[in-house]
């Protein structure tokens, strides 16, 4: 795939995701009684990713500190 088709496809997918998230949060989408608000789901995943990143950085700093004490 050449660079222009990759760029156009990436932009089209980005616009499609933004429109999907906006419409699912602006209107009440329900399926079998469950709310399909993709913006809320994405926010929860982002918060979880930040939490696990901080936990892994803390673990890395502890391991590096123990390694420095041993030397």
- Digit-coded pLDDT (tens) for 26-71: 777 777 777 778 888 888 999 999 999 999 999 999 998 988 887 7
pLDDT band at 25 (very low <50, low <70, confident <90, very high): confident
- 1-15 pLDDT per residue, tens: 788 888 888 889 989
pLDDT score, position 48: 94
39 CB-contact burial (10 Å; exposed 0-12 / middle 13-18 / buried 19+): middle
pLDDT score, position 2: 83
Burial 3-13 (b: 16+ CB within 10 A, else e): eeeeeeeeeee
């Amino acid at each position: 795939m050449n660079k222009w088709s990759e760029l156009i496809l990436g932009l089209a997918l980005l616009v499609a995701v933004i429109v999907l998230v906006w419409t699912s949060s602006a209107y009440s989408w329900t399926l079998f009684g469950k709310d399909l608000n993709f913006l809320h789901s994405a926010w929860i995943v982002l918060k979880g990713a930040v939490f696990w990143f901080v936990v892994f950085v803390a673990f890395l700093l502890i391991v590096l500190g123990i390694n420095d004490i041993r030397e």
